[in-house]
Structure 1
Amino acid sequence: MLREERKKELKKHIFFKSIELFKEYGYDNVTVEKIASSCGIAKGTFFNYFPKKEHVLLYLGSSQNEYLQEVVQKYKDEKIKQRLLLIFKELLSIYLENSDLLKLTLTETIRSALKDESRNINIFKETMTTLIEEAKANKTINTRFDSNTIASVLVGIYFNTLISWSVSQDESVHIVSIFERQYEVIWEGIEKDLN
């Protein structure tokens, strides 16, 4: 288990060092050799963790999917509205820890081919659909809207939040606040459907 933890830590280290280099020199000007050298590893070691430089950018999405499952379990005893809000807030708060670097990652990921990222987006949406289906089965929500449609809208506002936040020049704009305002609009529509 210790070996697996070290591998995870090294992958994270490579990711963050790469993002720092991308920020300093520009994505196109950073080579795998430069990343490996900055991390104190061999070029071959880099390729053990990332098949290509572009995969460094995709790491954020795939690592968030692992974290998503932990967060889903963490809030399993909450009512569906609060549970979904807490899940999204926790996922978004990750971006505040290294905001400059992660804004750059988001920008580069959007600029890169998002087709590779679609798998992560689908996993995210399927997880949200499952939570909504469970809430319907438990009768904690009663809506005519399809669970998949609700999940798509929630995931859509999540990514809209990330994009809005990453391009904002206003440092006072708080990522979670952006999401909460949009979330309330969506939830009000779901609740109105109950009447």
Structure 2
Amino acid sequence: MSREERKRQTKEAIVRHAVELFKQKGFDNVTVEEITKQCGIAKGTFFNYFAKKEHILLHLTDAYFARLDDIFGQFSDQEPKEGVLRIFSDLLSLYAKHYEILRFALLETVKAPGETNGAGGNIPLFRQKLADFFVEAEAAGRFCGKWEPELTASVLSDLFVQTLIGRSGTDAFDKAEAYEKLKRQIVAIWEGLAHEKG
């Protein structure tokens, strides 16, 4: 086995054991010492991979957002409002599936936007993917935006992230409820917040 393969396996083992401990005891109740003991590694080895236990959560958030290309790719040729709703639905499903850990990871990402290791780049990356989605829709004639794609993407991505944050304090995540609320908000934004006076 190569040195790179051993490093990859060690990092995976740290993440796997840490996640199990986080699920059992709650993130705040787990120490780096417990993680290293569970992995059978020295504390110094842990710090070769993660500067602190919070970075494990940021690593998990990276893995969540790594799915963006696949999810956006599935809906890139759809009418934009329907495409956005389907993209958000898929992301909510993925979030719900791994909610026990991703809720902590999301909060850590929001708290540490300037961190390295890709940590702070996930939300801006999500926003950029949405902006690109609208640019492509405009170029294909499927969308005629009133505002620049970056602003549209910023509003929608902030709405999505806020929906997740707003439900992160609960023990369970109701994907259907979150989606319905998000859908109503997107429809309100899409149609405008007020009727024009006639």
CA distance in 1, matches of 2:4, 2:82: 34
Match of 1:189 in 2: 192
Q: Deviations over 1:63-104 (max 9, x none)?
A: 223110111112233222222211111112112113333334
CA distance in 1, matches of 2:97, 2:5: 21
- Pairing of 1:5-24 with structure 2 (within 5 A): 14-15=14-15, 17-22=17-22, 24=24
CA distance in 1, matches of 2:25, 2:51: 21
Out of 100, 119, 122, the position equivalent to 1:120 is: 122
Aligned length: 189
Q: Deviations over 1:34-90 (max 9, x none)?
A: 113224555455445433322112123322231101111122332222222111111
Match of 1:139 in 2: 141
CA distance in 1, matches of 2:66, 2:128: 14
Cα RMSD (Å) of the superposition?
Answer: 3.3
Task: Please give the TM-score of this superposition, normalised by the length of structure 2.
Answer: 0.75
CA distance in 1, matches of 2:102, 2:34: 20
CA distance in 2, matches of 1:169, 1:33: 26
Gaps in structure 1 of 5+ consecutive residues = none
Match of 1:154 in 2: 156
CA distance in 1, matches of 2:67, 2:169: 25
Kindly indicate whether the alpha-carbon contact (under 8 Å) linking 2:85 and 2:183 is maintained by their aligned counterparts in 1: yes
CA distance in 1, matches of 2:85, 2:124: 19
Kindly indicate whether the alpha-carbon contact (under 8 Å) linking 2:112 and 2:120 is maintained by their aligned counterparts in 1: no
Q: Are positions 1:178 and 2:177 aligned together?
A: no
Kindly indicate whether the alpha-carbon contact (under 8 Å) linking 1:19 and 1:105 is maintained by their aligned counterparts in 2: no
Farther-moved stretch of structure 1 (18-27 vs 122-131): 18-27
Match of 1:30 in 2: 30
CA distance in 2, matches of 1:19, 1:41: 16
Percent of paired sites with the same residue: 39
Gaps in structure 2 of 5+ consecutive residues = none
Farther-moved stretch of structure 1 (19-28 vs 71-80): 19-28
Per-residue deviation, 1:160 = 0.9
Kindly indicate whether the alpha-carbon contact (under 8 Å) linking 2:61 and 2:105 is maintained by their aligned counterparts in 1: no
Q: 2:142 aligns to what SS in structure 1?
A: coil
Kindly indicate whether the alpha-carbon contact (under 8 Å) linking 2:137 and 2:143 is maintained by their aligned counterparts in 1: yes
Match of 1:70 in 2: 70
Q: 2:124 aligns to what SS in structure 1?
A: helix
Farther-moved stretch of structure 1 (123-132 vs 34-43): 34-43
Kindly indicate whether the alpha-carbon contact (under 8 Å) linking 1:93 and 1:176 is maintained by their aligned counterparts in 2: no
Q: Deviations over 1:130-153 (max 9, x none)?
A: 111111111211122111110000
Q: Residues 160, 134 of structure 1: CA spacing in aligned structure 2 closer, same or farther, 3 A cutoff?
A: same
